[in-house]
Structures are given as C-alpha cells and as structure tokens.
Amino acid sequence: MYGKCTRYRVKGIPGVKDRSFDALQDAKTWLAQAQTDARRGEFVDPRDGAISLKDYIATHWWPTQSGDPSTLERIEQRVRRHIVPHLGALPLNSVGTEVLRSWKKRLEKDLGPTSIRLVWATLSSVLQAAVEDRRLARNPCRARTVRPPAAAPGRVEAWPPERVLAVRAALPERYRVLVEIGAGLGLRQGEAFGLSMEDIDFDEEVVHIRRQVKMVRTKLCFALPKGRKVRDVPLPSSVAKSLRRHMELFAPVPVTMPWDDPSPPQTPVEAKHRRPRTYNLLVTGRERKAINRNYFNSYVWKPALSEAGVIAALEESAPDGSRVWEPSREHGYHALRHFYASEQLEAGESVVSLARWLGHSDPGFTLRKYAHFLPRAGARGSSAIDAVFA
C-alpha cells in the first residue's frame, strides 16, 4: 500500500487490479478483504461489473454461444424481446434480487409461466457466465427469495380415435398420410415433413427416422431429429398400406436443401457440413417443395381442426391481414404423437420401448409424461395378487 499526497493506492496483489482511496482506513479495509478473497479465488473487482448487461451480452456472452441454429435463434429472441429492453441498460452488478422481482412482475403481464421460465433460464445463463468471468460474485437468478414461476400444472391428454379420423378426413388428400405418420408412428412434425421414401423398409416393417425439416430464421433446411437421435420405429401394416397408397397418388419428390443451417457458410468446415442434400420426400406442398410448418399450421392444419369441430371457425382476419385462430396449442400436430403414446401404453408396450420409438433419451421422462395412460396397471397387479390368495 502506497500513500501519495492525500490518495492511497493498493497494489501488488496477484490477480487484483490497483485501486486508490481517499482515506487510509478505507484502503486498509479493502486490502484485507481483497487479500482474503484472492486467496480463496473469490475476488471480484466491482469495476469489472460496471459494464452494462446489454454490452456484456453483445461483446462477451453471445459471441461465445454455439449449438443448434434453431435453438440459438430462440435464445436470441428471448434476449432481444424480454431481457435487453428491460434490463440491458443496467450495470451487471446492479442486477440483484430487487431488480429481478420487478422484472418478473413485468414479464407476467405478457407471458405464461412456461415462457417466463425459459426467459429466466436464459438470463441465469448470462449472469452465471459473468460470475465465472469474475465480473459478479454470485448469480442473483439463483437466489432463494426470487424464483421463476412454478411450471404450469396439467397433463397431456390424448385425442380419442374418432377425433383423429375426423381431422384426417378434413385434410386435403395430399396431406392425409401425415395423420398416419403422426398417430401411427409417433413422429414429430418436422420428422414427418422430412420422411423420405428410402426411410421406409416395408419388408422389415420398420421406419428409419433419420432427419427432420427444420426452420432457421424463416428458411428451411434438413437436420438430424431433435436431440440428434436417429431411431427405428415399428411399421404397422395399416400404416404401411396408407404409405403405399399415398405414394401411388403422390409420387415422392426429390427436394434439395442445406443441412443443419441455411445461412451462408463462413468457413470450409461450415461449407462441408452445410452442403445441400437431396431426399425423396414422401409429403410435399403443392409447389413440390418441403412443407413450411407456419403455412401448414395456419392454412392446412387449423382449417381441418375447425372442420372437424375441434376448434372454432376463423371468423375474420386481423387488421394486418394475418389469420388469427383461437389458441389451440394442445391441438397441434403433436397431439398425434400423444395419441400414439397412449395407444402403445394401453396396448401393454413397455415404457422403455416407447421411449426408444419416441426418441426420448430418458425413459423416466416418458413415464412422467405419459404415466396416466396406464389406467389398467393397478388392476393387473390386483389380479395377480388375487390369483395367489384366491
């Protein structure tokens, strides 16, 4: 510690930047605390946390993010829409529990619990990176006194077979086979759109799930299935018959698109990875291209739901010309996947097999999600006991 005129400078602590003080006692107090924290590897200089949250995200956090392009797109949207507008101007070290309580209350005006939890997790990731960069001492998103809202209660409900058939009948004929693919094979929407003729092995009665059609920044591309998990699914004879009939009416169409990311590659490695690939898609739109999920959901799927009486009819368009249907998230294409799961479990298939067919990495997740589709499990156990003691 060095004194000069009326200022006192603390210097010489490894890994700690010099700092000046007006009062000697303040310098001594800070020196003792800094030395203790430095020995523990916990020293955080408040000056490093003075950068604004917006600048930290833009210059230090976002450039280091990598992963699936569509996942990164969703993260960027959360940051741009819900984090930076409200918290971006604040210094990192001023984002505390009081600020988070106010921010949470603001989010609750526009978002549901699930969306708030996703935004919260994104901010927590940013602040945890700041902790590890020695800009913050702790992550306020992990405090006990302020937490994201609890997950919304509820459980998955399966459509009855009559509804599945009614929606199928309401679809244009070129899209009807998508119902068999979703309800009979358990595919996700993107996987159904990406299914090709070569993926179907009629002799072995199996379908190979190798890719999906994915949207990244409004453009389509091919990619591995969710979780990068390829898998095989049993092919029921009734579904095989529907697939054959569909191919007789609508021949598979060769479609060429980039792989994994449609944006222009910046390096030779990216160019090799994203090179366009061609597959003979089983289902395409009227223009013989891969199906755009936004178009399909708004102009094909929801009109079929309406005709089948699942949702209300579209009364009028919004002022900007967009089509505004009643909220119907639980009746999206994914409802066919839930139907598939319910039918498999009620037929006595094991949770482990179902998890493999659905592409779940953890059978425990499958059990938690679909356990209520096992209404007869208790009865079977009771029957076994009765057989012993009767």
If you ran DSSP here, which 8-state letter would residue 22 be given?
S
Judged against a pLDDT cut of 70, whether residue 170 lies above it is answered with yes
Tell me the torsion sign for CA atoms 349, 165, 215, 323.
negative
What are the phi and psi torsion angles at 21 (to 5°)?
-135, 155
Mean pLDDT in the chain? Answer: 87
Query: Of the spans 1-10, 74-83, 311-320, which averages the highest pLDDT?
Result: 74-83
pLDDT at residue 150, as a whole number: 86
Q: Tell me: the pLDDT tens digits for 222-270?
A: 999 998 889 999 999 999 999 999 999 999 999 999 999 999 998 999 9
Burial class, 370, CB count within 10 angstroms (exposed 0-12 / middle 13-18 / buried 19+): buried
In this prediction, residue 214 has a pLDDT band, given cuts at 50, 70 and 90, of very high
What are the phi and psi torsion angles at 339 (to 5°)?
-60, -45
Q: Which residue has the tokens 């591995």?
A: 224
In angstroms, how far apart are the furthest CA atoms of the chain?
Answer: 99
pLDDT at residue 43, as a whole number: 54
Q: What gap in Å lies between CA 212 and CA 218, rounded to an integer?
A: 15
For 4, the 3-state DSSP assignment is strand
Domains 49-142 and 161-314 share a fold: no
Domain boundaries, the chain: 8-43, 49-142, 161-314
- Reply yes or no on domain 161-314 having CATH 1.10.443: yes
Q: What gap in Å lies between CA 250 and CA 281, rounded to an integer?
A: 10
Q: What gap in Å lies between CA 41 and CA 273, rounded to an integer?
A: 41
Query: Which superfamily is assigned to 49-142 in CATH?
Result: Tyrosine recombinase, N-terminal domain (1.10.150.130)
pLDDT at residue 27, as a whole number: 72
In the chain the beta strands, taken as DSSP E runs, fall at 2-4, 7-10, 19-21, 200-201, 206-209, 212-216, 219-223, 231-234, 253-257, 277-281
Q: Which residue has the tokens 């409004």?
A: 218
Across the range 3-18, mean pLDDT stands at 64
